[in-house]
């Protein structure tokens, strides 16, 4: 039996599952689909087109599914797609996609079993996987991809089009401007790799032998001087392959991730390679025939 507080505004065209709880002063738009068992705390705003799976919990003052803050957005019916069992703490915002990202097909996506803490912002066309923890006040720009089982420390910021590999750990107040390799710990203004995310790998039951192999790969890649040079990375990848470390599936994925970054990455971001927007998409904003006079 669903519970809808009398002060909530739910559009008659909204599609609600069973056992939904909608608290005081919430607003649910016509183009919203809310799955079974979802809970909206007071003062939540859901806009659409948006789809929410089952058992999502949304705390006060979240706004999910609003139009993107992007000049190339043309007002089309893009969407937000949310999976199951996610928790959105206070003041979280997620925006719908844009029409020009061929990867996202106009969708911003969030998978299953994620925790987004207070004040997190996820911008248009981003794609977040499963079992991701994003701490307070993290700012995620458009077109970002975060793979499964990643932890992001508070007050971090991510440049548009970056990818964070699975089981990575991003330290608090870190500035992410290029792709983060899987299984690594990164921290700081220059996004320095500080080691392997051993604790995170153990929590997700990655075998000890794989952890040892990933640590050996880390030593070849980053524990020497000149770790930021592309030529050094290519040499290290050859050493990893020649040493047979790629027989481990996790090392193999790390190598594949880094080779893709080297082969097609632009400014160190693989997703930039698939970028389809053009200057013309933003031209109307900058080429107004008459500028409004200042007050």
Closest CA to 40 of 49, 123, 29, 31: 29
Catalytic residue among 142, 153, 200, 268: 142
Percent of the chain having pLDDT more than 90? 87
Active site residue 142: yes
Residue 284 has pLDDT above 90, yes or no: no
User: Distance of alpha carbon 223 from its chain centroid, rounded?
Assistant: 28
Strand-pair category, 184-187 with 169-170 = parallel
CA distance 235 to 220: 9
Q: Which of 48, 84, 106, 124 is catalytic?
A: 124
At CA 227, angle to CA 223 and CA 228, rounded to 5?
Answer: 155
- For the stretch 267-276, pLDDT in tens is 999 999 999 8
Active site residue 43: no
Could you give the CA distance from residue 44 to residue 67 in angstroms, rounded to a whole number? 16
Which single residue is written with the structure tokens 């880390």? 218
Could you tell me if 233 and 262 are in contact, meaning their C-beta atoms sit under 8 angstroms apart?
yes
Q: What is the token pair recorded at 185?
A: 């710990």
DSSP one-letter code for 269: B
| Complete domains list, the chain, with CATH | 3-143 (2.160.10.10)
Give the residue-averaged pLDDT of 121-130: 98
State phi, psi for 33 to the nearest 5 degrees.
-115, 120
pLDDT at 225 over 80: no
- Coil vs helix vs strand at 66: strand
Point out the catalytic residue in the list 29, 125, 148, 179.
Answer: 125
Reduce the DSSP state of residue 287 to 3 states and report it.
coil
Q: Which helix (H) or strand (E) holds 158?
A: strand 157-158
- Looking at residue 247, what is its pLDDT? 98
* pLDDT tens figures, 68-116: 999 999 999 999 999 999 999 999 999 999 998 888 999 999 999 999 9
101 among known catalytic residues: no
pLDDT at 199: 98
Buried b (16+ CB within 10 A) or exposed e, 221-249: bbeeeeeeeeebbeebbeebeeeebbebe
Beta strands at 121-122 and 27-28: parallel, antiparallel or unpaired: unpaired
Using DSSP bridges, classify how beta strands 32-34 and 15-16 pair: parallel, antiparallel or unpaired.
Answer: parallel
pLDDT of 281 higher than 90: no
Band of the pLDDT at 229, cuts 50, 70, 90?
low
């Amino acid at each position: 039996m669903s519970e809808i507080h009398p002060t909530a505004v739910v559009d008659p065209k909204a599609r609600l599952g069973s056992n939904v709880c909608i608290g005081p002063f919430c607003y649910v738009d016509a183009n919203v689909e809310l799955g079974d068992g979802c809970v909206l705390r007071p003062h939540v705003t859901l806009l659409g087109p948006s789809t929410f799976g089952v058992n999502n919990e949304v705390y006060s003052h979240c706004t999910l599914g609003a139009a993107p803050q992007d000049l190339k957005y043309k007002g089309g019916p893009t969407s937000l797609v949310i999976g199951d069992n996610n928790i959105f703490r206070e003041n979280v915002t997620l925006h719908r996609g844009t029409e020009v990202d061929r990867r996202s097909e106009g969708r911003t996506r969030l998978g299953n079993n994620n925790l987004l803490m207070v004040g997190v912002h996820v911008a248009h066309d981003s794609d977040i996987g499963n079992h991701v923890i994003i701490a307070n006040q993290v700012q995620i720009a458009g077109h970002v991809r975060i793979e499964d089982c990643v932890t992001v420390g508070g007050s971090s910021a991510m440049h548009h089009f970056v990818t964070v590999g699975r089981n990575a750990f991003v330290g608090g107040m870190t500035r992410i401007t290029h792709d983060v390799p899987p299984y690594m710990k990164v921290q700081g203004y220059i996004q320095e790799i500080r080691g392997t995310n051993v604790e995170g790998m153990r929590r997700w039951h990655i075998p000890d032998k794989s952890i040892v192999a990933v640590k050996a790969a880390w030593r070849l890649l980053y524990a020497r001087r000149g770790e930021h040079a592309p030529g050094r990375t290519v040499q290290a990848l050859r050493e990893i392959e020649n040493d047979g470390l790629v027989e481990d599936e996790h090392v193999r994925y790390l190598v594949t991730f880094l080779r893709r970054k080297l082969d097609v990455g632009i400014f160190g971001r693989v997703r930039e390679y698939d970028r389809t927007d053009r200057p013309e998409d933003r031209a109307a904003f900058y080429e107004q025939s008459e500028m409004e006079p200042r007050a």
